[in-house]
Amino acid sequence: MIAIECRDVVKRFKSVTALDHMDLTVEKNGIFGLLGPNGAGKTTLIRILTGLITPTSGTCRVMGTDVGDTDSDHRFGIGYLSQDPKYYPWMTGRELLFFVGRLFGMPLADIRKRADELLAMAGLSQAADRKIGGYSGGMVQRLGIAQALFHQPEILFLDEPVSALDPIGRKEVLEFIASLGEGMSVCMSTHILADVERICSSVAIMDEGKVKLVGRTEELLAGVSGGMSLISFASAADAEKMGAQLDLQGVPHVLEADRIRIAADLFEEHRGVILRSAADGKLRLSTITRERADLEEVFVDLIQGGRTYGKR
Amino acid sequence: MNKTLFTADLRAHWSLFLFIQLVLLLYGTISVYMFDPESVDALVNMLQVLPENMVKAMGFDNLSTDLTQYIAGYLYGFIMIIFPIIYIAILSNNLVAKHVERGSIVYLLTTPNSRVRIALTQALYLLITLAVLIGVLTGVVLIMCASLFPGMLDVGRFLLLNLVTFLVLAVVSGIAFFGSCAFDETRWSTALGAGLPGLMFILKMISELNEQLAWVRYLTVFTLMDSENVLAGGSFVTTAVIGTAAAALLLFAGGIALFNRRSLAV
């Protein structure tokens, strides 16, 4: 079941190519993270997928419908929250949801019920009758998500939903997004790697208008040949001695009190020398662990063109 | 038209409407209240002390002892142009370009309402409230004249003057609305929506200040609001009504079509 399908999509703004022959396929259900540095083309892609702009060439389908179709009924299936949502500041949170419900032509009884449900889900029941102008950034974003969910869309697009928020607001909004669960499809763009790792079941990494990598988050992390090995000793003196040995061998490492951090692939390469040195020097090794690579490594290496990815 | 959006527009912009309406009513009621054929003579004599061109530029050159001509000269040469221009420039900018610049247009466009329907609603809001501004003033002036100076106002010609005024201001609204639909940034929308009507108003004043520059009146739509010609009736009025209605229609249709087609920076 496909939620998003883009084929050979190009979008040019005068001399700037925002999307450059981009292909992408996203499965239905779950939270999909669209990751990339600023200017990668994430917002442009979301704007195309929500029908706000049209691609220069190529095709995009969302939930089986060509986004080029101007049939407005298609919009019933899409919810969208922009990066920095602006609402009438004189409206209350509840009034905004009623306004959106009426724009969707919903009956008043349904609007009332749905507004109560979503205000509760967004943790805004207490603030429902306060003016939006007095809301915090996190409250506005949560209200924005509630607004985007109001008509029960099949897919929700969130453009950088937490990038402008303080840590508390970020946590609240991410928890709200995560609570949407597997029952619906969510496409969220961000440049904050930790957020994607935290809540996204699958991810695409974009750069220079192209999708560089796409897959399930766990699979991407498992496929990284990087990561660090951490060698712990019984004492800082033992760690220092091992550090000296590694210096002699010319193996780059970082000494951290009673631990030595070394790139996992270098550890594999020098494993024999390291273990032999420990035995010869009677150094008391406690543990050797491998730290899981994080998405930041995948991202930075991919964008900077460092490593090649392969299964370990 | 979308009634929900129209109602939200009403709530968002009622204070601007009320302010302009009150200013127009203030001037309208004062002008009627002040009417006295004898004092108009005195006022005309006093105005003769001032430079003739300046009086013309302010639109006070047509003050007459005839009530209809007096009101036309007092209200429709300056006040009924400048305040509606302010209203139109601010409102048209807020109705589309400001929504696009702020990004708040997004949640309208992601509802099952087409761009045409959204833009049409905004255009109708502008035109309807402009009609109400003029209509309320017209009604109040009619009531005041009927009670203070029964039978002295030529109601037919006065209504015709208001119709032409509305249509000329509809053209100005069309220009401002087109600008609002054409640009993502309010500074450009304002530049066109306020700048061009403002320039046309200045051209009208220049054409009246200097006879050698009288030809510039052909460059401004406000020439069609010449109360003397409108009250005289005839082909001038027919041309003004047809020309302004067609121009306003084209400008609004063009703005809506442009808004429907172009990529928005949201």
Chain A residues close to B111, C-beta within 8 Å: 75, 100, 103-104, 151
State pLDDT tens for residues B212-228: 888 888 888 888 887 77
Asked whether the beta carbons of B149 and B35 are under 8 A apart, the reply is: yes
Using alpha carbons, select from B154, B187, B173, B177 the residue that is nearest to residue B69: B154
Residue A284: band (very low, low, confident or very high) from pLDDT cuts 50, 70, 90: confident
Residue A74: band (very low, low, confident or very high) from pLDDT cuts 50, 70, 90: low
Per the domain annotation, does B53 fall within a domain?
yes
Q: Are residues A261 and A215 in the same domain?
A: no
CA atoms within 13 A on the CB side of B39: 7
> Structural domain of residue B128, as residue ranges?
3-261
Cβ–Cβ below 8 Å for B112 and A105: yes
Per the domain annotation, does A63 fall within a domain?
yes
- In the predicted structure, residue A297 carries a pLDDT above the cut 70: no
Cβ-count burial of B47 within 10 angstroms (0-12 exposed, 13-18 middle, 19+ buried)? middle
Per the domain annotation, does A148 fall within a domain?
yes
Q: Are residues A141 and A281 in the same domain?
A: no
pLDDT at B65 (0 to 100): 67
Cβ–Cβ below 8 Å for B102 and A100: no
Q: Are residues A26 and A100 in the same domain?
A: yes
For the residues B104-128, what does the mean pLDDT come to? Answer: 89
For the residues A291-307, what does the mean pLDDT come to? Answer: 63
Distance of CA B9 to the CA centre of its chain: 19
Number of domains in chain A: 2
Cβ–Cβ below 8 Å for B110 and A99: no
Q: Are residues A62 and A164 in the same domain?
A: yes
Rounded Cα distance between A169 and B152, Å, is 68
Per the domain annotation, does B266 fall within a domain?
no
pLDDT at A305 (0 to 100): 59
Q: Are residues A125 and A239 in the same domain?
A: no
Per the domain annotation, does A298 fall within a domain?
no
Between A83 and B197, the more confident residue is B197
Q: Are residues A129 and A189 in the same domain?
A: yes
- In the predicted structure, residue A310 carries a pLDDT above the cut 60: no
Neighbours of B203 (CB within 10 A): 19
For the ranges A160-169, B212-221, B243-252, the lowest mean pLDDT is seen at A160-169
Cβ–Cβ below 8 Å for A78 and B110: yes
Pick from A52, A72, A148: which is nearest to B112 by CB?
A: A72
For residue A104, the SS3 value is coil
pLDDT at B64 (0 to 100): 62
Cβ–Cβ below 8 Å for A100 and B107: yes
Buried/exposed code over B108-135 (b: 16+ C-beta within 10 A; e: otherwise): bbbbbbbbebbbbbbbebbbebbeebbe
Chain B residues close to A82, C-beta within 8 Å: 103, 106-107, 266
- In the predicted structure, residue B22 carries a pLDDT above the cut 80: yes
Q: Are residues A245 and A217 in the same domain?
A: no
Number of domains in chain B: 1
Q: Are residues A169 and A241 in the same domain?
A: no
pLDDT at B96 (0 to 100): 92
The answer to pTM > 0.80 is: no
Rounded Cα distance between A199 and A310, Å, is 24
Rounded Cα distance between B58 and A249, Å, is 93
For the residues B124-133, what does the mean pLDDT come to? Answer: 96
Using alpha carbons, select from A235, A205, A88, A72 the residue that is nearest to residue B7: A88
**CA distance, residue A73 to nearest chain B CA (Å):** 5
Q: Are residues A96 and A39 in the same domain?
A: yes
Per the domain annotation, does A96 fall within a domain?
yes
CATH number, domain with residue A194: 3.40.50.300
Per the domain annotation, does B184 fall within a domain?
yes
Per the domain annotation, does B176 fall within a domain?
yes
Using alpha carbons, select from B107, B96, B100 the residue that is nearest to residue A81: B107
ipTM surpassing 0.85: no
- Report the share of chain B in percent with pLDDT over 70: 93
Q: Are residues A248 and A208 in the same domain?
A: no
Establish if B104 touches chain A: CB-CB under 8 angstroms. yes
Q: Are residues A171 and A91 in the same domain?
A: yes
Q: Are residues A41 and A141 in the same domain?
A: yes
Pick from A73, A88, A147: which is nearest to B112 by CB?
A: A73
Using alpha carbons, select from A166, A162, A163 the residue that is nearest to residue A178: A162
For the ranges B51-60, B93-102, B129-138, B228-237, the lowest mean pLDDT is seen at B51-60
Pick from B5, B113, B263: which is nearest to A72 by CB?
A: B113
> Structural domain of residue A240, as residue ranges?
228-291
Chain B residues close to A79, C-beta within 8 Å: 110
Per the domain annotation, does A251 fall within a domain?
yes
Neighbours of A119 (CB within 10 A): 21
Neighbours of A243 (CB within 10 A): 17
Residue A180: band (very low, low, confident or very high) from pLDDT cuts 50, 70, 90: confident
For the residues A296-301, what does the mean pLDDT come to? Answer: 67
Boundary residue ending a domain (A207, A223, A239): A223
**CA distance, residue B156 to nearest chain A CA (Å):** 42
Per the domain annotation, does A301 fall within a domain?
no
Per the domain annotation, does B229 fall within a domain?
yes
Establish if A76 touches chain B: CB-CB under 8 angstroms. yes
